Amino acid sequence: MRKPILALLAAVLLLPLPGCGPAAEEARLTVVCTTYPIYLFAASLAQGIDGVAVERLDTGSTSCLHDYTLSMADMKKIEKANMIALNGAGLEEFLEDALASSDAQVIDCSQGVELLENLSHHHEEGEDHEGHDHGHWDPHYWMDPEKARIMAANLRDALTEIDPDHGEEYAANARRTDGILLSCQTTIENLMMEFRPQLGEFPGLITFHDGFQYFAEACGLPLLASIEEEAGSEASAHEIVEITQLVKEYQIPVIFTEVNGSDATARAISRETGCRVAQLSMLMDGPMEADDEDFGLMVHYFALYHNVETVINGFAGEGTVPKG
């Protein structure tokens, strides 16, 4: 489906893509992003603007940022940053001390986003584990392109404020970036509309990461159950029984784990029920260089589209959405 995706993007993007920006050591303005989606958007907004370097922390190495610890390389990036772009919504608790000692301008990209409440969950690390408090709000809002557009707009405003002499260039890049995100949103909606009949009586998604409710909402799909699970932090016995019963009751053919996340419990449930296990991407990591000369780094955001393909093929039968 790669060529149709790019063809649809080309139909909505009218602005030329400027050349690549400078290396970090030549920069007059260094923007440090805490997550991969922010990096994609910030790099797209700064593309071709002289003297702007966009970097990211190494947060893609873990599936749960609540347990993340800053590396020495991260600390050096924060030290030289002029701007630090946060996902917000409580995701970056690990940054509190570093931000307190930084002179960089900090932008919270969740401003104005209608956040969903965090899914209630509890997972154990042995008998004495007391669980993780992941806050009141679900911070994974980049999984909905409509909300990602607000994230990108917040970045545009912050970049324009800190670097007003290049405001027109940021505005031009922002129109292009918003067009890509709108195209992603439209593509997902059209795909769901086309193949929704093949899903039949769709009971809902079961995921082994609690960050997929924005994605499910963007697709117009119910989220039947979701459990945060990582290596060394598996689902409780009660949750395993509950999920197994749901799979049997609704005859669910597939459950979903997160790329780079733990799949131990999902595999156990698969052996018990016969359901398949498929992977969905949380867009927590990916290529650092442009993959397409026309659309740059933003083409990697279309991993969301491939998530939709995976869901439809999982429930309606492999090959329902042809791979291009």
| Amino acid letter, 251 | Q
Q: Which of 120, 115, 122 is nearest to 138 (CA)?
A: 115
Count of CB atoms within 10 A of residue 67's CB? Answer: 13
Compute how many other C-beta atoms are within 10 angstroms of the C-beta atom of residue 98: 18
Q: CB count, 10 Å around CB of 316?
A: 18
- CATH number of the domain at 191-282+309-316, out of 3.40.50.1980, 3.30.465.10, 3.40.50.170, 3.40.50.620? 3.40.50.1980
C-alpha to C-alpha distance for 69 and 94, rounded to whole angstroms: 6
Question: Which phi and psi (to 5°) does residue 291 adopt?
Answer: -100, -15
Distance (Å, whole) CA 239 – CA 232? 16
Neighbours of 185 (CB within 10 A): 18
Task: Tell me the sheet residues that pair with 105.
Answer: 83
Amino acid at 17: L
H or E stretch at 215: helix 213-219
pLDDT band at 20 (very low <50, low <70, confident <90, very high): very low
pLDDT at residue number 184: 95
pLDDT of 6 > 60? The answer is no
Q: How far apart are CA 143 and CA 37, in angstroms?
A: 9
* 125: number of Cβ within 10 Å: 13
In this prediction, residue 5 has a pLDDT band, given cuts at 50, 70 and 90, of low
* The pLDDT of residue 34 is above 90: yes
Question: pLDDT (tens digit, 9 = 90+) per residue, 121-144?
Answer: 434 444 433 445 557 899 999 999
Query: Where does the pLDDT of residue 103 fall: very low under 50, low under 70, confident under 90, or very high at 90 and above?
Result: very high
Find all residues with CB under 8 Å of 238, minimum gap 6, and list them.
none
Q: What angle do CA 183, 35, 55 make, to 5 degrees?
A: 100
Q: How many CA atoms lie within 13 A of 255 on its CB side?
A: 32
Matching fold, domains 2-109+136-189 and 191-282+309-316: yes
**Domain parsing of the chain, residue ranges:** 2-109+136-189, 191-282+309-316
Please give the average per-residue pLDDT across 165-193, as a whole number: 96
CATH 3.20.20.140 is right for the domain spanning 2-109+136-189:
no
**Total Cβ atoms within 10 A of residue 59:** 24
Those residues whose C-beta lies under 8 Å from the C-beta of residue 157, and which sit 6 or more positions away, are none
- Half-sphere exposure (Cβ direction) of 283: Cα atoms closer than 13 Å: 31
